Amino acid sequence: MSHWTIENIPSQVGCIHLITGANSGTGLAATQQLAQSGALVIMAVRDIDKGRQAAAQIKQAIPNAKLDIMHLNLADLKSVAQFALEFKSRYKQLNVLINNAGIALPNTRIETKQGYEGHFGVNHLGHFALTGMLLPILMATPHSRIVTVASFVPKQSHSVINWHDLQYHDNFDGMTCYGQSKLANIMFGLQLHDKLQQANSSTLSLIANPGFTKTNIQKDMGFFAKFLTLTIAQSVAIGVLPLLRCAVDPDVTSGQFYGPLKLKEMRGYPELTQAPKPAANEPNREKLWLLSEQMTQTTYIFS
């Protein structure tokens, strides 16, 4: 059986890809591979200096890489709005949006600029707002794609949406909040697919699980997570493949979910998988969608 690898990436010459969290981990690896394939990659980063360092690293390997570094703080919806305005002033097409950035803070409850619990605010709400604001240019670009980076955690930890306390003001637990935010990512990706289909749009919505990949996201985790990172985490070179497959594989279909299948979906090459059961509940997906529109003051226009 042949696996999907970087050898399967078709030419991306003439394409514009936007990646959040592009300066490290899977975001950096995706940026480098897409630049190698000829794409212009917009590196959306919270820290411009780190973005420049990452871009310089890529250009050492790929001197003709086409990169544009732009500031984006997903923990501040005003920053998201400013980024979207600036992007639309620079570019008239967007072939692929990869919502990749994320946080995992098990021991500390932080809040976004607008007062939302950090995991839910950054991992879900920030990307929800960004996608909504960029939707007109995405839908104006034929056969564009929106890739939502999720996780194996919601399925393996049986995550749910805590409707009574979305922001976990009570009984905070970082990994529970992380699982909720990643479940929200999956529900968003599926509901976005439904809405794009209803609008007869050629834009695709796909979901990627990078598995248990060794990245900076583990640096703030506890001892057990660090032990697992040392013993079973896969390399970034493998973990980035589900993102890339969703972004460029001509054979994928909107609404699909790709990730590894081995070791409880923590390791392996990207294969088609199933979303966790809570994400299949369409009324709950729509409930989350409407709440997200209210929280971010973002209205999706599918026309």
Q: Which residues are catalytic, by number? A: 178
Tell me the backbone φ, ψ of residue 160, rounded to 5 degrees.
-135, 165
What are the start-end ranges of the E strands in 54-143? 66-71, 96-99
Query: Between 282-296 and 127-139, two packed helices, what is the crossing angle to 10 degrees?
Result: 100
Q: How far apart are CA 292 and CA 195, in angstroms?
A: 15
Contact 12, 34 (CB under 8 A): yes
Alpha-carbon span 47 to 219, nearest angstrom: 17
The span from the first CA to the last CA of the chain, in angstroms, equals: 42
CB 69 within 8 A of CB 52: yes
Q: Tell me, rounded to whole angstroms, the distance of Cα 244 from its chain centroid.
A: 11
Element (H, E) at 179: helix 174-198
Cα separation, 244 vs 186, whole angstroms: 17
Q: Quick one: tokens of 139?
A: 């839908």
Please tell me the distance from the alpha carbon of residue 13 to that of residue 39, in angstroms, as a whole number: 5
Rg over alpha carbons for the chain, rounded to the nearest Å, is 18
Query: CA–CA separation, 200 vs 202, rounded Å?
Result: 7
